[in-house]
Chain A
Amino acid sequence: MCLAVPMEVLSIEGDLARVDQAGVKTRVSLMICDEPPQVGDYVIVHAGFAIHRLDPETAHESLSLLADLLAAADEGPGREE
């Protein structure tokens, strides 16, 4: 039920934004979005509301964090008994 998907902001009018994901366009409220998005930003949308502005840098960081995690796993600690 807490399903939410990233969607691109196409235009903004007051508290409403027109958003798109893979060609599916809809209108969402920005009333509870954590940061005001700009056109071209991605937001996470849940039940008709944008709830989070995706920061491209954080998203990029999270991908490199995944790579770090893999590197660390190769030499990770074992369980000490």
Chain B
Amino acid sequence: MNWRNETVLVTGATGFIGGRVCERLMQAGVPKVRALVHSMHKASRIARVPVELCPGNLMEPETLQQAIGNAKIVIHCGLGDAGSIVRGTRNMLAVALAAGVKRFVHVSTAAVYGITPPPGSENETAVIRATGDPYCDNKAAAERVVLGYGKRGLPVTILRPSIVWGPYSAWSTRLVDDLRGGRVSFVDGGRGACNTTYVDNLIDAMFLSLENDRALNETFFITDGERITWGDFIRAHTAMMNPEPQVSNVSHEEIQATQEKTSGMLLSSVKATARVARSKEFRQILMKIPATEAMLTGAWNRINSLSPENRERLRARFGVQRVAVAAAPGRNGKHIPDPVTVATQSTTVFFSIEKARRVLGYEPRIKFGEGIVLVEQWLRYAAYLD
């Protein structure tokens, strides 16, 4: 199939990944790109590209029918929240199947194995187990729904990127903000596996899966294929800044000791949760979810069900030390990261892209060093760096 001649529907088009997908599709010469847009006011980035902005919501199938038009390819970057990850994906799959879509690329995440994936999850054959984290577990459930539609005849491919970074990514913008605010530490020397996936490399994999029949009903880890640690990632950002921020090391022992001493942590977590739940931004996010569990007790789960990037957004918005889970100052003024950051940066697993290389012919074209140069150029342009 020559996908370059097809109309493509992109969900999550106002997001970081979806926005770049729209740009790349246009650069690839695709005749028509339809962009599913839930919040029109967030569409400034893609509105400058000649894509068709299609108002719609993954939770409202009739809007998806309108949005799909004559698209024969769907690139599903849309996410939503805990309740909508699975239902929204199912809605999109059903509409795609009915519309005779020729390829459905589902953007999943390596976090189906958890925020700290267990050793042994390096390859796609590893068994997925419930993690207790709503985001991870719902993304895993969504994968099962996608494969179910694959069995029903919808040509599907699942891609599992990890830390998707690049221009416009909150991994870089928040990191720069946090570095400036002295809110970054190297967890255990920064040795944790970062599993970077430069956004253009991910999109390469999407495009490869569109033109390769061997990709059908298959699942692939997609990373930059380099053993980049969190220390590497953080240091690459401090090097962009002037003056260069100093980042201290915190050991797991220090983290544990501080957390045990923080007896008021539960109280402050509840306070932070309540504060977030009362906020306008959180209410807007809540509005995307069926109002079945709108009480405060549900807020904790909702926050934890957000993607890591959205958690970052909320945290930055409210100035709490991680939403709902407070970080604490440690001894000697060291910043002790919150449990989610600790978990994220304690990964020991480097995901293998051997299958993507073998089956898709995937080869990461943007190396980490090149990506950092591009990110730095963008951060300066976007006024995150002086």
B and A form one assembly: no
